[in-house]
Structure 1
């Protein structure tokens, strides 16, 4: 076991509640969503598709409903509530099964399965609420989370609301994420942030001195 995973496990085990992001933290599914965005906008040219890809990779944790108006503008499409919803629905069709089929982040699935009965876990994600519920059911881990908060609820709001209702000291909880939006939500709520290191968050890693890991040991 690496020092990073060992210290992360110690931190997780002592937390009164653990907030989890999903993509890039529980499932290695960030790349499949990148591919879905690229496929969605490839009909508008490779330059647009490449620009969409780069923006998506640089803005992990940002809701697709916030990204889509920007991408539609780049594609020269009208930005309306209906057009945003249409493209978000098409994105979901491209990405849903791919996310379900994506590999688990090593050790995280085992930790969640092993400890969810004695330690409360709350999922906070930018994925739409109905979609993340479908994914959790399909992957067999829905029962592992006391609460699930998806879009349109923001991660910052979901964490704040949970802390208030559970009457918990923020410092006694942990948020495991992989993106700058996750770090910002943790900081705003004074929750300890644990960074799951990925090839896409190198810039975030460079400026982050807190606990981090690549994967957790499967026997944890």
Structure 2
């Protein structure tokens, strides 16, 4: 197993890795779905908490098709996702939500190696949040849903002609792990003890890895 310093390209999940945004996103689901029965919304919140790396598009579809047992159109999903994004753009542009441990490390690696954000959150929303919080310049590119995470990684590898052996995906969910494995790249877990395993790297903290010049 290689150490973090041995990789030449880092792919970062966002929620739970760079920003502690899960409570805010939970609030967003409650607000957007406030007209629906409380027990159904609670079931969706539990699904959201258990599947942090999945996109809102998947979660809204699950709410209707699996919880409410009814059909839902792509337009309805899109409209709900847009409403959700409007709430997120307002609430997530807070520096207090950034995870200092990882953000300090990200900023220390600028101009040392290419880094990309690959997230299950909406791509346009992520780019807006990163711009507002002065994070965007740290990354070569920032990507999110509706394109699935596994496909985003595949497209990055092809676009930049990356050697898979050089890449490391850093995430806090099984979705991040699966996306890495599906693309044949290494995975490092962070900020989720349930992902601690001898099969891949686990990062307890980035602090020891930051070198101040």
Q: Give the alignment's TM-score, normalised by structure 2.
A: 0.87
Could you say what secondary structure the match of 2:3 adopts? helix
Are the aligned partners of 1:176 and 1:194 in contact in 2 as well (CA < 8 Å)?
yes
1:135/1:218 CA distance change after superposition, 3 Å: farther
Q: Which one of 140, 144, 156 corresponds to residue 146 of structure 1? A: 140
Counterpart for residue 13 of structure 2 = 21
What is aligned with 1:99? 92
Note the C-alpha offset of 1:118.
1.5
**Which structure 2 residues correspond to residues 1-220 of structure 1 after superposition, within 5 A?**
11-73=3-65, 74-75=67-68, 79-101=72-94, 103-198=97-192, 202=194, 205=195, 209-217=199-207, 220=210
8 Å contact from structure 1 (residues 44, 75) kept in 2: no
Distance across 1 between alignment mates of 2:179 and 2:157: 13
Q: Deviations over 1:33-67 (max 9, x none)?
A: 12211232233122112101100111111111122
Q: CA deviation at 1:144?
A: 0.8
Contact 1:107–1:219 (CA<8 Å) still a contact in 2?
no
CA distance 1:172–1:141, change in 2 (3 Å): same
Q: How many residues align?
A: 208
SS at match of 1:83: helix
Cα gap change, 1:174/1:89 in structure 2, threshold over 3 Å: closer, same or farther?
A: same
* Superposed CA offset, 1:86-117 (max 9, x none): 21112112222322225222321111111121
Q: Which runs of 4+ in 1 moved over 6 A?
A: none
With a CA cutoff of 8 Å and minimum separation of 6, indicate the structure with the bigger relative contact order: 1
CA distance in 1, matches of 2:71, 2:161: 45
Could you tell me the TM-score, scaled by structure 1's length? 0.84
CA distance in structure 1 between the aligned counterparts of 2:85 and 2:21, rounded to whole angstroms: 13
Give the conservation status (yes or no) of the 8 Å contact 1:18–1:174: yes
C-alpha distance in 1 between matches for 2:178 and 2:37: 33
- Contact kept in structure 1, 2:52 and 2:173, CA below 8 Å: yes
Question: Offset of 1:167 from its aligned partner?
Answer: 2.6
Q: CA RMSD in A?
A: 2.3
Unaligned runs of 5+ in 2: none
